[in-house]
Amino acid sequence: MRGTRVRILVVGIASGALALSALATTHAAADPANGPYVALGDSYTAGPFIPDLTGDPITCGRSTGNYPSLVARELGSTSFTDASCSGATTEHMTHAQKPVLFGTNQPQFDRLNKDVRVVTLGIGGNDADLIDTVSACIANGAVDSPGPDEAPCADAQQVDGRDRLAARIDAVGPKVAEVLRGIHERAPGARVFVVGYPAVLPSPADASCREPLSLTEGDVVYLTARLRQLDGELADAARANEATFVDTYTSGVGHDACKPATVRWVEPVLPGNAAFPLHPNANGMADTAADVARAIRAS
């Protein structure tokens, strides 16, 4: 009789342990933070030149060290798809993109479905031609050598009393809002996170960009204001469309492209670390990943 009671007790304990184990497994699988994750975005998401390049087509410049890959590993995502591609605009969410040299990146929205639980979106800079404008300012500054009190880049954007770059950035918000609506339509169970752009230039402005980027303090002030304007458009679009904006600018202040190689998280025109010019390096991606993972866990 005593042996029977012992056997019953052992079986009961084992059954209880199995039930608890199953419950824990079910809870982990149901946790949306580590559910299927899709990353959408441009080169600031893809991480060109950061080891190791991966994906199809390879010319999208996706890296296994970009922030989506780091976030997926940190959260233990049950599945992870990186659809990002260098040069992408909001148009490439629904249209195929042919990056430089060869290959085609299918519409990024093609990776979305009803099972997806986390989506990150980093887009808008190419719609506004922001980085191309910064690059042109740097090139012109290197040739023209403007005085320290001048702001030739800012001046060049003023046409008939209108700031062309600011106007292009104003137009980004509605485009991103449309993208967010498209994400919710295709992945209705997903939590969506709009990832902002990092601190490319110093704030407050100083003379540190004169040598590495050929930018005057006046132009640093102007371009930083435009970058903050873009982040503002992204934040507003997120707020109005059931998404969370992730600020990556604040944590990156003091680590801009004009700082020494051991300090900066964004590379200058002549990179000292593995990364595309004016884009985050591995340390910058790690910082963005920490911001994004924190936001996902907190939501």
Rounded distance between C-alpha atoms, residue 89 and residue 107, angstroms:
11
Question: According to the model, what pLDDT value does residue 1 have?
Answer: 46
Cα–Cα nearest to 84, from 115, 128, 120 = 120
Question: According to the model, what pLDDT value does residue 144 have?
Answer: 73
Please state, in angstroms and as integers, the Cα–Cα distance from residue 270 to each residue in 152, 276, 280, following that order: 22, 9, 13
The 8-class DSSP code of residue 107 comes to P
Cα–Cα nearest to 120, from 152, 174, 82 = 82
Question: According to the model, what pLDDT value does residue 274 have?
Answer: 96
Over its C-alpha atoms, the chain yields an Rg (Å, rounded) of 23
Residue in the block written with tokens 């996902």 = 296
Please state, in angstroms and as integers, the Cα–Cα distance from residue 241 to each residue in 114, 268, 298, following that order: 18, 34, 18
Q: Which of 43, 77, 86, 214 is catalytic?
A: 43
Concerning whether 279 is annotated as a catalytic residue, the answer is yes
Question: According to the model, what pLDDT value does residue 41 have?
Answer: 99
Rounded distance between C-alpha atoms, residue 220 and residue 241, angstroms:
32
Cα–Cα nearest to 111, from 58, 186, 43, 44 = 186
Q: Which of 63, 69, 92, 279 is catalytic?
A: 279
CA atoms within 13 A on the CB side of 134: 23
Rounded distance between C-alpha atoms, residue 283 and residue 280, angstroms:
7
Concerning whether 299 is annotated as a catalytic residue, the answer is no
As to burial, measured by CB atoms within 10 angstroms (0-12 exposed, 13-18 middle, 19+ buried), residue 122 is buried
Cα–Cα nearest to 140, from 153, 126, 149 = 153
Q: What is the pLDDT of residues 240-265, one digit of tens each?
A: 999 999 999 999 999 999 999 999 99
For residues 277 and 267, the answer to whether their CB atoms sit within 8 Å is: yes
Amino acid at the residue 237: A
Biggest distance spanned by C-alpha atoms of the chain: 99
Q: How many CB atoms lie within 10 A of CB 266?
A: 26
Averaged in consecutive runs of 10 residues, what is the pLDDT profile of the chain (299 residues)?
42 40 42 89 98 90 98 97 98 93 93 98 98 91 77 94 97 99 99 98 87 91 96 99 98 97 97 97 99 97
Amino acid at the residue 112: L
- In what side-by-side order are the strands of the sheet with 80-82? 80-82, 37-41, 118-122, 191-195, 244-246
For residues 108 and 180, the answer to whether their CB atoms sit within 8 Å is: no
